[in-house]
Amino acid sequence: MSSSSPILLILFISTFMINISSSSPNFPDRYLKSLTNPPSSSTPTESIEVTKPPPPSNPINPNCSILVLQNYFNNTPTSPPFTTLYSPPANCTGPWNKIFLEYSVSSDDGEQDDRISGVWLNGVEILRTSTPQGNPSGIFWKVRKDVSRYSSLFTQSNLTLSVMLESESIDDWFTGFYQVNVSLFYYQDQDLNLTRISPVEFIEVEPLKLNRKFGELSEASVKGMYNAGAFTNETSPDLIIPVSDNGDDGCWFRIKNESDIHSKTIQIPQNTKKAVLEIYVSAHGNDEFWYSNVPNAYIESNHLSSQRGNGAFRQVIATVDGVTVGSVTPIPVIFSGGINPLFWDPVVAIGAFNLPTYDIDLTPFLGFLLDGKNHSFGLGVAYSKSVWLVNANLHIWLDHGSDIVTAQSSSYRAEPMQLQNQTQFQTLDGQFKIEGQRKTEYSGWVNSSAGNFTTRIYEEFKFQNEIKLSNNGQDKEVEQKIKVKTEIRIENDIGHEISKSIISRKYPLMIKISTLPGAEADTFVSTADVSHSTKEKYTRALSSNEQIQIESENSQESSGWMLVKDRLILSGSGSTSQTLTYKDLNGFYSRVVSAANGKILQDNSTVASVSPLSA
Ligand SMILES: *[C@@H]1O[C@H](CO)[C@@H](O)[C@H](O)[C@H]1NC(C)=O
Ligand SMILES: *[C@@H]1O[C@H](CO)[C@@H](O)[C@H](O)[C@H]1NC(C)=O
Ligand SMILES: *[C@@H]1O[C@H](CO)[C@@H](O)[C@H](O)[C@H]1NC(C)=O
Ligand SMILES: *[C@@H]1O[C@H](CO)[C@@H](O)[C@H](O)[C@H]1NC(C)=O
Ligand SMILES: *[C@@H]1O[C@H](CO)[C@@H](O)[C@H](O)[C@H]1NC(C)=O
Ligand SMILES: *[C@@H]1O[C@H](CO)[C@@H](O)[C@H](O)[C@H]1NC(C)=O
Ligand SMILES: *[C@@H]1O[C@H](CO)[C@@H](O)[C@H](O)[C@H]1NC(C)=O
Ligand SMILES: *[C@@H]1O[C@H](CO)[C@@H](O)[C@H](O)[C@H]1NC(C)=O
Ligand SMILES: *[C@@H]1O[C@H](CO)[C@@H](O)[C@H](O)[C@H]1NC(C)=O
Ligand SMILES: *[C@@H]1O[C@H](CO)[C@@H](O)[C@H](O)[C@H]1NC(C)=O
Ligand SMILES: *[C@@H]1O[C@H](CO)[C@@H](O)[C@H](O)[C@H]1NC(C)=O
Ligand SMILES: *[C@@H]1O[C@H](CO)[C@@H](O)[C@H](O)[C@H]1NC(C)=O
């Protein structure tokens, strides 16, 4: 049937949609669950993201909590963010050792596309999240995030808290609205007790016999598995300076192309002893599925109207005074309208409710930053198409024993990113391959009242992406592998290594989609498989042979089909199964969830805690 040809479909979609750029069925795309489908439930359903050991569920005796914001967000995509004033709870002063943020939403009925949302406190982003698509019987969900690293802000009064909930398109047809509550939970209790923290049924099993020879660290192990910071002894930063926009359009910078670099002028205190830049990022519009974007030559030679070009490699670049100080290729996060929305009901894709953030340690660059002058911190995205929402937080640790810290950057070696592309295609069929790698090494010393320490950072980044199009462009396969290994060594002034941390991350993604014309005019059937995972390992070796290790793996497999007219799903079926494991000094956590057609079929979790060792 000729209606399934890419060109015709593009025309059709672009007349139907107002603000979303046209795209071809050759690529993964955004669709809408139709509310005319029989509802999977007559009561509101809960959407979930399966995450690392869940933070405390509500209520689990926080020492205090406040409902800091309550608002209805309706379909007003051009509105400025909703703001309110934050002050810490009056009768419950800190210090707190944990603070959790809860972003809780209900949407009664009404059609809704997925949307992107951010929460900022004083311009510092504390949560990036997205919304699931609606159900006729209503939906609700809760996102809980450990925001303890932003503690220095939560002790201040009269800060502006702003929430942006931006829709992807303007259309009378989207009738849903969201009721959003943002609450904060403050804890003074170190011992977050597992059995009290049960959002799902925990099964107590025999304690694991982990190899533990940690001396003083056994002390930390009683603090609970949710307290990973307890192992690393890390204090939260004293000061957080936003590298974000002041505008009415939300605090994120809207990055539209490669040369669109946004920056902010910052003067850091002269007694800064450590600095880390945390990047928040999400990709939308022509780059929502950037990992499946094709070379421009393919688009041009086939006369496609799609803007989803520039190939399938992207990197967020952080600069100081125009010099690149770090780069990050984000974990692909599939929003709930992506590829097949039936996959993400009610279990959303990895990271969809709590988008991962990325830290770049700038301590070795303090030699340049501690001169009492203003510096320009910039953010851009290499090879980007419109639009990326990016901003960052500069976390600063101060020397409380001195007003002046001296520092010098001693080395900086960054190979240019080496990209190798292979592009071959004949009309709509083809094969595109991009491979890249990069090694970076930088170091510097910082002399504070704690001593003179040299920080050395080594990073190795590997990227591989392959896209295959066959059957006249109707069958597509995307396979992407990303590997990042970051090593941070700290030496004292006589060159003796006192700490070594290694963070390894891998995030492979595989997508297969086949498209066939449907029986009726202007319809098509899309069959898809997605498999996606994130694997992370953190090890830290200290002097005296102590070692800390934290490992997690989160994998999702989804498959299904849908019959689509315009962007609407007329019928279909989708299932997702997910396995998450997490292991640290205190024990092991695993959760296996499977869902199909809007229902959870299985949700089993296991916790094995290691009882504290007596020395
Ligand atoms: C905070 O809560 C914990 C656990 O409920 C309790 O043990 C502790 O005494 C509380 N602290 C204060 C200052 O209320
Ligand atoms: C703080 O005050 C509120 C309202 O005045 C009260 O409900 C709450 O119990 C108090 N919390 C503490 C920890 O005293
Ligand atoms: C928000 O808070 C109000 C007041 O506590 C409550 O009635 C409402 O159900 C909450 N809504 C959500 C979505 O959590
Ligand atoms: C916060 O604002 C309120 C109302 O404007 C004011 O009464 C209060 O003193 C302010 N608090 C601080 C710490 O500035
Ligand atoms: C955890 O809480 C339960 C129930 O309150 C209690 O029986 C158990 O002893 C507590 N465990 C620890 C390690 O505190
Ligand atoms: C944690 O901090 C204490 C006190 O500063 C120190 O003695 C201990 O060695 C640190 N532990 C780790 C794991 O860094
Ligand atoms: C990149 O985006 C900026 C901001 O929208 C625009 O001013 C500029 O013309 C664009 N450059 C190119 C090459 O498209
Ligand atoms: C390789 O791909 C990148 C990113 O898509 C592109 O900018 C570059 O021009 C390509 N290089 C070659 C040799 O095709
Ligand atoms: C830094 O820039 C700010 C404005 O962005 C300005 O007010 C301040 O005077 C500048 N400081 C220095 C040391 O140049
Ligand atoms: C290193 O820092 C300490 C504490 O701030 C200071 O006393 C000392 O003079 C500094 N050393 C040098 C060589 O600047
Ligand atoms: C700090 O240590 C480095 C490396 O050992 C040395 O080159 C530098 O001079 C020291 N700085 C100070 C202020 O002592
Ligand atoms: C796993 O979950 C299923 C469905 O919820 C349940 O029937 C089964 O007993 C659970 N398995 C275990 C080992 O708990």
Using the mean position of ligand 2's atoms as its centre, give its distance from the Cα of residue 81 in Å: 30
- Ligand 2 atom closest to the Cα of residue 90 is 1
- Ligand 1 atom closest to the Cα of residue 189 is 3
Using the mean position of ligand 11's atoms as its centre, give its distance from the Cα of residue 453 in Å: 8
Nearest to 102 by CA among 186, 169, 27, 12: 186
- The confidence band for 556, taking pLDDT boundaries of 50, 70 and 90, is very high
593-606 residue pLDDT tens = 999 999 999 998 77
Which residues form the pocket of ligand 12, taking CB atoms under 6 Å from any ligand atom?
A: 602-604
Q: Which ligand is nearest to the CA of 443?
A: 11
Determine the Cα–Cα distance for residues 132 and 118; give it in Å rounded to an integer: 15
Q: Which of 231-240, 300-309, 318-327 has the lowest mean pLDDT?
A: 231-240
Q: Which ligand is nearest to the CA of 158?
A: 4
Determine the Cα–Cα distance for residues 158 and 141; give it in Å rounded to an integer: 28
**In whole angstroms, how far apart are CA 159 and each of 68, 156, 610?**
11, 7, 41
Average pLDDT over residues 317-333: 95
Using the mean position of ligand 11's atoms as its centre, give its distance from the Cα of residue 445 in Å: 6
**Whole-number pLDDT of residue 222:** 28
Q: Which ligand is nearest to the CA of 371?
A: 9
Burial class, 151, CB count within 10 angstroms (exposed 0-12 / middle 13-18 / buried 19+): buried
- Ligand 12 atom closest to the Cα of residue 592 is 1
Give nearest CA residue, ligand 4 atom 13: 157
Nearest to 131 by CA among 173, 73, 52, 170: 73
DSSP 347: B
Average pLDDT over residues 399-415: 93
Using the mean position of ligand 5's atoms as its centre, give its distance from the Cα of residue 540 in Å: 30
- The confidence band for 180, taking pLDDT boundaries of 50, 70 and 90, is very high
Q: Which of 115-119, 146-150, 212-216 has the lowest mean pLDDT?
A: 212-216
Q: Which of 203, 604, 605, 606 to mutate to test the pocket of ligand 12 (most atoms within 8 A of CB)?
A: 604
Task: Indicate if ligand 2 lies below 6 Å from the C-beta of 66.
Answer: no
**Whole-number pLDDT of residue 417:** 86
- Ligand 9 atom closest to the Cα of residue 265 is 5
Determine the Cα–Cα distance for residues 296 and 284; give it in Å rounded to an integer: 18
Beta bridge partners, 181, equal 70, 104
Residue 288 has pLDDT above 90, yes or no: yes
Burial class, 579, CB count within 10 angstroms (exposed 0-12 / middle 13-18 / buried 19+): middle
Q: Which ligand is nearest to the CA of 295?
A: 8
* Cα atoms in the Cβ-side hemisphere of radius 13 Å centred on 152: 15
**Whole-number pLDDT of residue 588:** 76
- The confidence band for 308, taking pLDDT boundaries of 50, 70 and 90, is very high
**Whole-number pLDDT of residue 239:** 97
- Ligand 1 atom closest to the Cα of residue 188 is 1
Using the mean position of ligand 7's atoms as its centre, give its distance from the Cα of residue 384 in Å: 11
* The three-state (H, E, C) secondary structure of 48-109, written as one string: ECCCCCCCCCCCCCCCEEEEEEEEEECCCCCCCCEEEEECCCCCCCCCCCEEEEEEEEEECC
Q: Which of 204, 600, 602 to mutate to test the pocket of ligand 12 (most atoms within 8 A of CB)?
A: 602
Using the mean position of ligand 1's atoms as its centre, give its distance from the Cα of residue 198 in Å: 19
Greater pLDDT, 608 or 408: 408
Task: Indicate if ligand 7 lies below 6 Å from the C-beta of 256.
Answer: yes
Determine the Cα–Cα distance for residues 280 and 358; give it in Å rounded to an integer: 7
**Whole-number pLDDT of residue 3:** 35
β-pairing verdict for 358-361 and 375-382: unpaired
Give nearest CA residue, ligand 10 atom 6: 449
Using the mean position of ligand 2's atoms as its centre, give its distance from the Cα of residue 91 in Å: 6
Average pLDDT, the chain: 83
Greater pLDDT, 28 or 496: 496
Task: Indicate if ligand 5 lies below 6 Å from the C-beta of 573.
Answer: no
**Whole-number pLDDT of residue 39:** 58
CA angle 79, 83, 87 (to 5 degrees): 175
Greater pLDDT, 495 or 4: 495
428-445 residue pLDDT tens = 999 999 999 999 999 999
Displacement of CA 352 from its chain's centroid (Å): 7
- Ligand 7 atom closest to the Cα of residue 259 is 1
Contact 29, 339 (CB under 8 A): yes
Q: Which of 10-19, 81-90, 233-242 has the lowest mean pLDDT?
A: 10-19
Give nearest CA residue, ligand 5 atom 1: 193
DSSP of 145-211, one letter per residue?
EE-GGGHHHHTSSSEEEEEEEE-S---TT----EEEEEEEEEE--S---GGG--SS---B-PPP---
Determine the Cα–Cα distance for residues 400 and 605; give it in Å rounded to an integer: 44
Task: Indicate if ligand 7 lies below 6 Å from the C-beta of 57.
Answer: no
462-515 residue pLDDT tens = 999 999 999 999 999 999 999 999 999 999 999 888 888 899 999 999 999 999
Q: Which ligand is nearest to the CA of 585?
A: 6
Give nearest CA residue, ligand 7 atom 7: 260
**Whole-number pLDDT of residue 582:** 84
Determine the Cα–Cα distance for residues 160 and 483; give it in Å rounded to an integer: 38
Residue 158 has pLDDT above 50, yes or no: yes
Task: Indicate if ligand 2 lies below 6 Å from the C-beta of 417.
Answer: no
Residue 589 has pLDDT above 60, yes or no: yes
